[in-house]
Amino acid sequence: TSLSCKSGEVFNGEVCVSSRLYKCPNLDAGSCDTKENGYYKDNNLDCRSYFYCSSNRKYSFLCQDGQAFDGSKCVSKRHVEPCSKKIECSGKSDGYYQDMTTGCTKYYYCKQGDKVQVLTCRNSRVFNGQSCVSPASYACPGTVGYSLALKLNCVKRSCQSTCSRDGFFADYDSRCKNYYFCVSGKQTKLSCHPNSVFNENEGLCVPKDKYQCPVYCSNECS
C-alpha cells in the first residue's frame, strides 16, 4: 500500500510535516535502494567498510584491522590500492562523534582510527554527542544558534582557586557532566549519571535535554 502526504508536506520518518520543517535526505552512494543484490565498497567510509544489499536492505560489515575490502572480500591492505585517507577519526578514541558539517543532524562512529559508520537523526533532531535530541535543547557547534548560545549562555572564567568558597559547583570544561564539592578549601570531584548534567542553579543532576550547560566566554580568567 502506497501512502502520500498532503501537498506541501513531506514524511520525516514518523509523520507528515511541513516541507519547511524537514529536508528529505538524498540517496547517497551507500544506499541499497537502487542497487542489485551483492557486496559493495562503502565509499563514504574507510576502506575497511563494505555492505551487502539484499532486496534493497543494507547490511554493513567491517574488515579486520590491517585489511581492506577489494570489491568481493577482505584482503591485506598491501594487496589493494591505497584509499583516500579519512581524517575525521584520526587520533580519536572509539565512539560516536558529531558531523558538524551537517549541523549535527548526522554523526559517525570511529573504530581504531577509522570512520566505519554514518548515522542520521530522525525527525529533524540533532546529535549532542550522546543521543539525538530536539534542536531546541541543543545548538550544534559552528551554527548560528551555537554562536548565539555562546553570547547568551557563557560565564567568565575565574582566576581564583577552584575551592575559594564552600558548595557544589559545575565543571564547565566537562560540559557539566562532572561537578565538585568544596568544603574548607578541599575539593571532591563528582560525576552525574549518563545522559545527565549538573545544574548549578538547582544543585543537582538533571536530564541533559532539560538544561543547557553554560560555556566559558573565553579561555582567559578574570
Q: Provide the pLDDT confidence category of residue 146 given band limits of 50, 70 and 90.
A: low
Mean pLDDT over 75-82 rounds to: 80
Distances in Å between the Cα of 184 and the Cα atoms of 113, 161, 163, 188 are 44, 12, 8, 11
End-to-end CA distance of the chain: 65
Residue 120 near residue 99 (C-beta atoms within 8 A) = no
pLDDT over 80 at 9, yes or no: yes
Q: Which CATH number fits domain 153-221: 1.10.357, 2.170.140, 3.40.1280, 3.30.2130?
A: 2.170.140
pLDDT for 148? 60
pLDDT tens digits for range 109-134? 888 777 878 888 887 788 888 888 87
Q: Where are the domains of the chain?
A: 31-138, 153-221
pLDDT tens digits for range 161-180? 778 888 999 988 788 999 99
Residues 6+ apart with CB under 8 A from 214: 153, 154, 155, 170, 172, 176
Q: Which helix (H) or strand (E) holds 146?
A: helix 144-152
Q: Is 37 left (phi over 0), alpha (psi -120 to 50) or beta?
A: beta
pLDDT over 80 at 2, yes or no: no
Between 193 and 220, where is the model more confident? 193
pLDDT tens digits for range 58-75? 888 888 878 888 888 889
Among residues 131, 134, 113, which one has the least CA distance to residue 123? 134
Mean pLDDT over 152-157 rounds to: 72
pLDDT tens digits for range 99-115? 888 888 889 888 877 78
